[in-house]
A and B are shown apart, each in its own frame.
Chain A
């Protein structure tokens, strides 16, 4: 018997929403305790700041330009590598419960297995795997899907439609009549994607994901190794937690984010110092991507709206923390805890008021790129707790799972396992991470590459609709942790810029065999 793996992800969660990472709004005692007994990473970066490319990187251990799912709406090829497949072949029972999103949600023709499985109401399906075997989907022998509401084809939506149809209308309508991300305001302040939800807490997707996870775990024998990916759809917008929980955090008491200057002129000056698409989006002159409401203008957002969004976000984070606590208690009750590795992270962050913005897009700053990551190794492995300050990336997760399972590293992973300490990070040269952005939607093209080191965050904008290929951003993460002063054109930093630019060129020239880039099949 080896070590079991509980991989917990959330969706769109900032680093600073955990108590252990400095949250002043939500309380996360379960995750704080995990961090205290394991390894807390202070600078974990995604390979992409939107869901599909980032999640595909977790599964494949590859960057988006390698696995080919380069923007939301581009399905990960069914023959893409999958760490779950390697674990399955090594005898692990494998499950993914909650949000997967390797394939587009908008799928009226039912072409993607995630939607087909859920539509058929079955947890897995026999289908040809890419090497010719008949097998499980992407290496998972059990799949149950959920996303941000109760409409659609996925298992949670089906469950709500079957058992609690009267509550479906209580959720915020994620899309508007034009199938764009809804700009409709709600709550007390009229903030976009906010609604007080009358659904009972027990029926909300956070509790459903935890309960379905416990149901699956309860079927596993004590001596069965397993890899369970428990994937919560929250705290991604819409911010519509159950009404019974909203009073946990009074939005009127929530402080404004440190990176939200209340004076519009100050916000606008900060935006003007960045590449031009920042201010264009803020003013409502550019919609570069699908992931934020096309009909919402960030400049109209009020300070109270920022407070209410942050309050509801914190409520959702607290619900997740408590749900994780229930799953961990069950693992303890089973007597498994000594042999279970627990890894917690998210796919990308959320601007959540920073610079006067909400949601996400091609904006490579800490709000979107600095992620919570905690690894509590199995106590039986006797790994000392630590804090890793070196930059690490979600692209290392696949190799980490394989290391935990004592499996060989396949050729296709593009990064080694996470370091257990700063000393190990230094010895293994964990000194930078790369984040990619590519989007081409309705004639608007944006292509961004960012390298993050302990000291600097450096971004180059390639040729696109708003950029001529000469723009960029350079921030001193030590002297300017809020990334307010763009040093890209500062001659005093020419050497830094040249060195970091060389790292981006080296990334582009990496020798790995790349998949054919996929075609955009839907906006998300």
Chain B
């Protein structure tokens, strides 16, 4: 099992940052390479730009803790846990942490590579929203 964590300081209030990711169906807006998301209860099925479909189980979406957590349940994964945590650094400054833990290890590397781009998009959208407040 491998764990890979990326983080980014975002010039926006923590609730604004968490607001970007909290709607499960909004993931195509901020995760590069995910083109479609369908949500049914706590199950989200994403479709990637290469045409792959991956079912995910949403296991936490907590606006108080500002934590979004999900598991990819596709058969290729023996285990997966993805977490997005938003921590307040200042009233209009946040630390967003995107962690990927997976087995096989190789999948952690591949998915985490995608989360790096997602962090950039989360930052861009949150800072845009902060400026428009």
Contact, CB under 8 Å: A110 / B107: no
Q: For B32, give its contact among A73, A104, A109, A523 (CB under 8 Å).
A: A109
Contact, CB under 8 Å: B107 / A111: no
Contact, CB under 8 Å: A522 / B50: no
Contact, CB under 8 Å: B50 / A442: no
Contact, CB under 8 Å: B34 / A73: no
Contact, CB under 8 Å: B110 / A111: no
A115 located at the interface, meaning its Cβ lies under 8 Å from any Cβ of chain B in the complex: yes
Q: For A109, give its contact among B34, B104, B106 (CB under 8 Å).
A: B34
Contact, CB under 8 Å: B106 / A116: no
Known: A111-B114, A111-B117. A179 touches B49 (CB 8 A): no
CA A115 to CA B96, docked complex, whole Å = 30
Nearest Cβ on chain A to B80's Cβ, whole angstroms: 13
A106 located at the interface, meaning its Cβ lies under 8 Å from any Cβ of chain B in the complex: yes
CA A523 to CA B114, docked complex, whole Å = 13
A413 located at the interface, meaning its Cβ lies under 8 Å from any Cβ of chain B in the complex: no
Q: For A522, give its contact among B32, B48, B49, B110 (CB under 8 Å).
A: B110
A418 located at the interface, meaning its Cβ lies under 8 Å from any Cβ of chain B in the complex: no
What string of 1s and 0s marks CB contacts (under 8 Å) between A262-301 and chain B? 0000000000000000000000000000100000000000
A259 located at the interface, meaning its Cβ lies under 8 Å from any Cβ of chain B in the complex: no
* Residue among A108, A110, A442, A520 facing the most chain B CB atoms (10 A cut-off): A108
What string of 1s and 0s marks CB contacts (under 8 Å) between A503-524 and chain B? 0000000000000000111110
What string of 1s and 0s marks CB contacts (under 8 Å) between A42-60 and chain B? 0000000000000000000
Residues of A within 8 A of B63 (CB): none
B105 located at the interface, meaning its Cβ lies under 8 Å from any Cβ of chain A in the complex: yes
CA A257 to CA B116, docked complex, whole Å = 45
Residues of B within 8 A of A107 (CB): 50, 110
- Mark out the residues of chain B between 72 and 118 whose CB falls within 8 Å of any chain A CB in the assembled complex: 76, 104-107, 109-110, 113-114, 116-117
Residues of B within 8 A of A521 (CB): 109-110, 113, 116
Q: For A73, give its contact among B2, B104, B109 (CB under 8 Å).
A: B109
Contact, CB under 8 Å: B104 / A110: no
Residues of B within 8 A of A523 (CB): 106, 109-110
Binding site for A on B (CB under 8 A): 2, 31-34, 48-52, 54, 76, 104-107, 109-110, 113-114, 116-117
Residues of A within 8 A of B76 (CB): 179
CA A108 to CA B51, docked complex, whole Å = 8
Contact, CB under 8 Å: B116 / A119: no
Residues of A within 8 A of B48 (CB): 108-110
Closest to A118 in B: B50
Nearest Cβ on chain B to A197's Cβ, whole angstroms: 25
Contact, CB under 8 Å: B109 / A109: no
Contact, CB under 8 Å: A108 / B109: no
Nearest Cβ on chain A to B14's Cβ, whole angstroms: 25
- Mark out the residues of chain A between 480 and 524 whose CB falls within 8 Å of any chain B CB in the assembled complex: 519-523
Closest to B49 in A: A110
Contact, CB under 8 Å: A109 / B107: no
Contacts A290-B106, A522-B110 aside, 20 further interface pairs with beta carbons under 8 A come to A108-B33, A108-B114, A109-B31, A109-B33, A109-B50, A110-B33, A110-B49, A116-B49, A119-B50, A178-B105, A178-B106, A179-B106, A180-B106, A442-B105, A442-B109, A519-B113, A521-B109, A522-B109, A522-B113, A523-B110
Interface of A is mostly: loop
Residues of A within 8 A of B113 (CB): 104, 519-522
Nearest Cβ on chain A to B84's Cβ, whole angstroms: 17
A153 located at the interface, meaning its Cβ lies under 8 Å from any Cβ of chain B in the complex: yes
Nearest Cβ on chain A to B56's Cβ, whole angstroms: 13
Contact, CB under 8 Å: A110 / B50: yes
Residues of A within 8 A of B50 (CB): 107-110, 115, 119, 153
Residues of B within 8 A of A73 (CB): 109
Nearest Cβ on chain B to A47's Cβ, whole angstroms: 24
Contact, CB under 8 Å: B106 / A108: no
Nearest Cβ on chain B to A121's Cβ, whole angstroms: 12
Nearest Cβ on chain A to B9's Cβ, whole angstroms: 17
Nearest Cβ on chain A to B111's Cβ, whole angstroms: 8
Contact, CB under 8 Å: A108 / B116: no
Contact, CB under 8 Å: B49 / A111: yes
CA A119 to CA B52, docked complex, whole Å = 12
Q: For A111, give its contact among B32, B51, B104, B106 (CB under 8 Å).
A: B32
CA A104 to CA B54, docked complex, whole Å = 20
Closest to A109 in B: B33
Contact, CB under 8 Å: B33 / A106: no
A–B complex contacts, Cβ < 8 Å, 7 sampled: A106-B106, A108-B33, A108-B52, A109-B117, A180-B104, A442-B105, A522-B110
Residues of B within 8 A of A153 (CB): 50
List the 9 shortest-distance A-B pairs measured between CB atoms, nearest first: A109-B33, A110-B49, A521-B113, A178-B104, A179-B106, A110-B50, A109-B114, A522-B110, A106-B110
CA A177 to CA B76, docked complex, whole Å = 8
Residues of A within 8 A of B2 (CB): 442
- Mark out the residues of chain A between 402 and 422 whose CB falls within 8 Å of any chain B CB in the assembled complex: none
CA A116 to CA B117, docked complex, whole Å = 17
* Residue among A115, A153, A290, A442 facing the most chain B CB atoms (10 A cut-off): A442
Closest to A176 in B: B104
CA A106 to CA B109, docked complex, whole Å = 10
Contact, CB under 8 Å: A520 / B106: no
CA A107 to CA B33, docked complex, whole Å = 9
CA A119 to CA B51, docked complex, whole Å = 9
What string of 1s and 0s marks CB contacts (under 8 Å) between A97-137 and chain B? 00000001011111100011001000000000000000000
CA A378 to CA B121, docked complex, whole Å = 50
Residues of B within 8 A of A519 (CB): 113, 116
CA A442 to CA B33, docked complex, whole Å = 24
CA A523 to CA B104, docked complex, whole Å = 12
- Mark out the residues of chain A between 158 and 212 whose CB falls within 8 Å of any chain B CB in the assembled complex: 177-180
Known: A179-B104, A523-B106, A523-B109. A111 touches B116 (CB 8 A): no
